[in-house]
Structure 1
Amino acid sequence: MATGKINVSVENIFPLIKKFLYSDHEIFLRELVSNATDATLKLKHLTSIGEAKVEYGNPKIEVQVDKENKQIRIIDQGIGMTADEVEKYINQVAFSGAEEFLEKYKDSAKDSGIIGHFGLGFYSAFMVAEKVEIITKSYKDEPAVHWVCDGSPEFTLSPAEKTDRGTEIILHVAEDSTEFLEEYRIRELLTKYNKFMPVPIKFGTTTETLPKPEDAGDDYVAETVEVDNIINNPNPAWTKQPTDLTDEDYKNFYRELYPMQFDEPLFNIHLNVDYPFNLTGILYFPKLSADLQVQKDRIQLYQNQVFVTDNVEGIVPEFLTMLRGVIDSPDIPLNVSRSYLQADGNVKKISNYITRKVADKLKSLFSENREDFEKKWNDIKIVLEYGMLSEPKFYEKAGAFVLYPTVDEKYFTLDELKEKLAATQTDKHDKLVLLYASDKDAQHSYIAAAKDKGYEVLLLDSPIVSHLIQKLEADNDKISFARVDADHIDRLIQKDEEQISKLTDEEKDKLKEAVETVVPKATYTVQLEAMDSSAAPFIITQPEFMRRMKDMSKTGGGGMFGMGNFPDMYNLVVNTNSNLAGSILATEDAAQRESLVKQALDLARLSQNLLKGEELTAFVKRSFELIK
């Protein structure tokens, strides 16, 4: 029996591993199963090139829990190790066997799926174990060996009686880690980290009843057999070619990823690139509500089918973190615990690629079946609008497929709108004005008035629309947006000939004075406008700039678009050609004239949902008095 001291370059390496090297103790199982997977895939590669003269067979990895003896076992049927290899790979911390293997076979093994990078994964076992044993036999014709270490730099290495190829790791679980002796806990970890590992993983068995043979008699007794409980799917959808998958395959994989999610995805994007980096994956567009309070961290990041994290910030553009799915890349740089991304040029390249791929897919969906794309628009618009604001490369491509619906559920691209408006608006302005509503019900009267005049009204009701139109206006100097209840639309668009006021200048001054006596000057700016006599006598609008700034401040608060607080400011537009204007001028009694103005103002406020609380109560009471 040989004894020796593990060759480490840092004193007390085991406390360092246990406390600091790994961010989460539960990943010990991921690392050990990953090592077992590497050992199996190495053997597969060596047999495929004829270097290993053994039968590969149908190997699997088995995880066992022995609660009574406080042990966890990870058993593989892979490449195994000789005594010299144990000395080389186990007793020298941070010497990676996988890395050396890949370097040796870099031309033939580049697509073998081998995971290891750091040579530290095995030592994660000491985060939960007070003693670790390795019993291993190489595929080479050499004796098996038994390695034991109690968490100090001391180890023993002796011959073992193992006759079959592969490695068995035995963890003697420490008192502070007995939670990992619960079968449900191990099943949870295997499902979380190893659900899609490329080698079958056995965890326990299940009993199945064999079907009754056709020629069995009435006295037939059903037979049962024990079947390995394979806990993973070694061939997940993202590892296959898109041409080999149907729509139903993609939906089934979505259900496999999110078994508690009952909605169907709208569509998927299959990622598959091998230059200038390797990346595969499937992203799903789920149905999203029209707000920004959506659940993020639903995209899972894998490295060669090993789960790494669901925090994909940096790799996936921020606007796409609202999606769901899987990204797998061996080229994403990770630290030794594989839990956090490191700053690297590849990360930005991958992010840019995903942005471009998503934009190309959206364009093809729009071009191939516009009608279906329009039906899905309300479910995806918040993601795309956010993408236009946050990702310049996405914004460059978005014009080809981003839609602007009208209140009548017609859909236009921005270029289509420009062409349509250029044919209907006069040349009195140097810009085309795009009218829009943000709340179809609250702004109904304004929408109706605009439509009566033949104006097209868009419905832009996402919470970030104010930010989006600011950007669109900045990048398109020939268009401007105005909400339908903003500064009076006839003045903005000037489609119609101006109406001539029935009032003299002296009567206008008197009317304005009578209204301003009642209207709060801090909130309302009174404007006189000559309109058709059938139009509303009092109309409340908001200065477009101030209203937009206020909307933007609401969207952000102190967060994404925070811009501070803006006061409520409105225009009160008085139609000088209305009968009410004449009535106000004709009323000699000051109290009665004030009541007329108050009632008209409150009606206008009511149409804008601005009348609440005590003021609403007073309005209702006054209305009943007028009826009497």
Structure 2
Amino acid sequence: MATQKGHIGITTENIFPVIKKFLYSDHEIFLREIVANAVDATQKLRTLASKGEFKGDTTDVKVSVSIDKEAGTLTISDQGIGMTAEEIDRYINQIAFSGATDFLEKYKDDAATIIGHFGLGFYSSFMVSSRVDIVTKSYREDAEAVKWSCDGTPEFTLEPVEKAERGTDIVLHIDEENKEFLEEGRIQTLLNKYCRFLPIPVAFGKKKEWKDGQQVDTAEDNVINDTHPLWTKTPSTLTDEDYRNFYRDLYPMQDEPLFWIHLNVEYPFNLTGVLYFPKIKNNIEIHRNKIQLYCNQVFVTDSVENIVPDFLTLLHGVIDSPDIPLNVSRSYLQSDRNVKKISQYITKKVADRLSSLFKSDRAQFEEKWDDLKLFIHYGILSEPDFYDKAKNFALLKDIDGKAYTYEEYREAIKENQTDKDDQLVCLYTNDREAQFSYIEAAKAKGYNVLLLDGQLDAPLVSQLEQKWEKTRFVRVDGDTPERLIPKKDESVNEADKAANENLTSVFNAGLPQVEKAQFHVETSAMGAASAPVLITQSEYMRRMKETARLQPGMSFYGEMPDMYSLVLNTDHPLVKQVGEGVVSATGEKLAPIDAELRGLQARRTALEAAQKDLKPEDVTPEEKAELEQVNNDIAAQYNQRNEALAGYARENQVVSQLIDLALLQNGLLRGEALNAFVKRSVDLIR
């Protein structure tokens, strides 16, 4: 045939500038596209041979990648079916293209879609090339070899050429901006990333050996890929060690996996793969995106958020499906029916595998629970349907290490941990060392305490409260032991109430300033053997602050001060001693103040009763002024009262010592206050 010149059949003159501009961020993808095309051509030849339409030998076919730095070329060669001049005209020179305006508008943000949607896999080579040559010879008898050349414009040449063997050579003349693709290390990295499991051997140079103190090439091809990766094999032919070896190959620096799932589906979609359960103690983010997605053994992506539910992105391994195209786009994944079916299938397989492990060997499952729970809790929190699958094998562990299913735990604590309102109360700790005394106090009352110290245990608690009827979770330091699970309403007589008010005022006055913390002082009869002073924290506010750390939208809770209750044990001898001291030290000062307060309060009650049924405009200015004056007088008397009690608090070292001991136990005593406590402790010991 004579040399032919022509124009590539496209509907815009700007195809190559568009490719360079909009595919630039993914420019390394060209190597995958060209090598994948070479593999396809080779597999097609094998298919023809299996049907008897090709009589030649296909045993040792391969794809070769080579660099010629001097010539500035990167060549991808195959021994596949090759092309005739007519086939080049049909498959290379004609690009189905819908017009520049629609193209740019629809695909400007998605390079992968550009390639896949318009069959531009081969043309991605122009992202890095100033010229591309195709030298090809068809497998057909008496076929004539041809060479196609294009310099990145719509113009091309097609001419006869000498080529002894069938197949195709794609010769990329790498442009000045992309000389990195003439570096052996860079190409080796890309081949390892995109082509390491292709079904046809891919050779890149020769294997090397040490000789005379340096590395030299041998005669053996450097085949970079495993053509029969583990997931393509029948599970019954594989051993546990085979699966572990494959995992080590994929993730050389990772701990051994806990277990794995071999996926193999032919209908209603095609899917193979192996998914591993890694050990996940904490930090979800570092475990993400370890699943590699393949299409017919060609690497697609390791970002699989839209293919599997979010919590399954913590798994490691490989998914291979021809029903997911090479050039995945987010819009495609979100709408494709097959992808949704694949997602549902994988979720079910994971849940079934976990359930099977739990039922077949519960003891082993419990041993692995600490490595599994973050994954399972993430699934329960992020995937609404997963809770129903997981509730029968998800576990709760108490501080003694005993594990329960959800139903087992509810049944175990039902008798002893149901409060007066028929609510089941689940007590837990998230720090067994810091909350040791609270745990011991709860255990002394016969309560079971769960250990919930995982990264997602705080939101899990809220989720379980929604799922379980008439159940609430309370951290063990959320209240006094007596009030954690109230069995009846507390009643206090008037005399005790007055004495308790004096105590709270005294201890309030003795509280030091603690940054970003607010305290409410209260009293409770906790028994003489319990601590004299206890600090508890509001379950609601503490949980909101914990959630705020995980959800940026709730950050305002994180800015609020921590809310604590300082609970005085009115049964403890030291607190009783302080109470008795209040009476003896301040009785004379408080008696006239209290008498005056009683009179003022009676007067206020009478004034309010007189004005109760009147409209605001019917109350005279004199009456309003009198009520305001009474309120001011009451406030003034309370100020005098509190000052008298504060004076006692300042002089009584026991008050300060009890407060500081409680603060110290909770890690809240710092700086100047801690220094004062140490000095006071020394003085008290002398």
Same fold? TM cut 0.5: yes
May I ask how many residue pairs the two structures share in their alignment?
A: 592
- Per-residue CA deviations over 1:193-248 (Å, capped at 9, x if unaligned) read 11111110011112579xxxxxxxxxxxxxx9621110011111122232222211
| Aligned partner letter, 1:574 | L
Q: Distance in 2 between matches of 1:17 and 1:563?
A: 49
Q: Distance in 2 between matches of 1:163 and 1:57?
A: 19
Match of 1:613 in 2: 671
Asked whether the 8 Å contact 1:308–1:338 carries over to 2, the reply is no
Secondary structure of the equivalent of 1:468?
helix
Asked whether the 8 Å contact 2:116–2:326 carries over to 1, the reply is no
Secondary structure of the equivalent of 1:517?
helix
* 440-449 or 115-124: bigger deviation: 115-124
2:504 counterpart of 1:484: no
The CA deviation at 1:288 is: 2.3
The CA deviation at 1:341 is: 5.4
User: Structure 1 stretches of 5 or more lacking a match?
Assistant: 96-114, 210-223
User: Structure 2 stretches of 5 or more lacking a match?
Assistant: 98-114, 211-216, 586-647
Which residue of 513, 519, 522 corresponds with 1:527? 522
* 575-584 or 420-429: bigger deviation: 420-429
Secondary structure of the equivalent of 2:180?
helix
Q: Distance in 2 between matches of 1:557 and 1:133?
A: 54
The CA deviation at 1:567 is: 2.2
The CA deviation at 1:76 is: 0.5
- TM-score computed with the length of structure 2 as normaliser: 0.81
Q: Distance in 2 between matches of 1:194 and 1:340?
A: 25
Q: Distance in 2 between matches of 1:458 and 1:486?
A: 14
Q: Distance in 1 between matches of 2:260 and 2:94?
A: 45
Asked whether the 8 Å contact 2:417–2:447 carries over to 1, the reply is no
- Cα gap change, 1:426/1:14 in structure 2, threshold over 3 Å: closer, same or farther? closer
Asked whether the 8 Å contact 1:555–1:562 carries over to 2, the reply is no
Q: Distance in 2 between matches of 1:548 and 1:225?
A: 65
Q: Distance in 2 between matches of 1:502 and 1:459?
A: 41
Q: Distance in 1 between matches of 2:340 and 2:181?
A: 38
The CA deviation at 1:355 is: 2.0
2:389 counterpart of 1:389: no
Match of 1:603 in 2: 661
- Per-residue CA deviations over 1:480-516 (Å, capped at 9, x if unaligned) read 1110000224223246998999984443343333323
- Cα gap change, 1:181/1:438 in structure 2, threshold over 3 Å: closer, same or farther? same
Q: Distance in 2 between matches of 1:626 and 1:252?
A: 66
Q: Distance in 2 between matches of 1:199 and 1:339?
A: 29
The CA deviation at 1:323 is: 2.6
Match of 1:188 in 2: 189
Which residue of 345, 352, 358 corresponds with 1:353? 345
| Aligned partner letter, 1:91 | N
Which residues in structure 2 correspond to 1:322-471 (within 5 Å)? Answer: 322-333=314-325, 335=327, 342-346=333-337, 347-425=339-417, 428-471=420-463
The CA deviation at 1:262 is: 4.1
Q: Distance in 1 between matches of 2:578 and 2:673?
A: 22
Q: Distance in 2 between matches of 1:205 and 1:340?
A: 42
* 229-238 or 586-595: bigger deviation: 586-595
Asked whether the 8 Å contact 2:425–2:485 carries over to 1, the reply is yes
2:240 counterpart of 1:247: yes
The CA deviation at 1:439 is: 0.6
- Per-residue CA deviations over 1:371-404 (Å, capped at 9, x if unaligned) read 2222222222222212211111212211111111
The CA deviation at 1:87 is: 1.1
Which residue of 576, 581, 594 corresponds with 2:570? 576
Match of 1:103 in 2: none
Q: Distance in 1 between matches of 2:273 and 2:500?
A: 69
- Coordinate RMSD, CA, aligned: 2.7
Which residues in structure 2 correspond to 1:48-63 (within 5 Å)? Answer: 48-63=50-65
Q: Distance in 2 between matches of 1:152 and 1:533?
A: 93
The CA deviation at 1:118 is: 4.6
Match of 1:46 in 2: 48
- Cα gap change, 1:295/1:426 in structure 2, threshold over 3 Å: closer, same or farther? closer
Match of 2:139 in 1: 139
Which residue of 214, 220, 223 corresponds with 1:227? 220
Secondary structure of the equivalent of 1:623?
helix
| Aligned partner letter, 1:28 | F
| Aligned partner letter, 1:556 | Q
Secondary structure of the equivalent of 1:553?
helix
The structure number with the bigger radius of gyration is 2
| Aligned partner letter, 2:202 | I
The CA deviation at 1:184 is: 1.0
Q: Distance in 2 between matches of 1:295 and 1:405?
A: 24
Q: Distance in 2 between matches of 1:184 and 1:94?
A: 36
| Aligned partner letter, 1:134 | I
Asked whether the 8 Å contact 1:502–1:577 carries over to 2, the reply is no
Asked whether the 8 Å contact 1:283–1:325 carries over to 2, the reply is yes
Which has the larger share of helix?
2
- Per-residue CA deviations over 1:498-541 (Å, capped at 9, x if unaligned) read 89999844433433333233247982222221122111111111
The CA deviation at 1:437 is: 0.2
| Aligned partner letter, 1:121 | G
* 550-559 or 194-203: bigger deviation: 550-559
Asked whether the 8 Å contact 2:131–2:152 carries over to 1, the reply is yes
Which residue of 240, 257, 275 corresponds with 2:250? 257
Which residues in structure 2 correspond to 1:148-159 (within 5 Å)? Answer: 148-159=149-160
Match of 2:74 in 1: 72
Match of 1:622 in 2: 680
Match of 1:545 in 2: 540
- Cα gap change, 1:511/1:492 in structure 2, threshold over 3 Å: closer, same or farther? same
Secondary structure of the equivalent of 2:679?
helix
- Per-residue CA deviations over 1:533-573 (Å, capped at 9, x if unaligned) read 111111111121122112212333458x8855332111122
The CA deviation at 1:278 is: 2.1
Task: Calculate percent identity across the aligned residue pairs.
Answer: 53
Q: Distance in 1 between matches of 2:190 and 2:546?
A: 45
Q: Distance in 1 between matches of 2:419 and 2:663?
A: 34
- Cα gap change, 1:462/1:501 in structure 2, threshold over 3 Å: closer, same or farther? farther
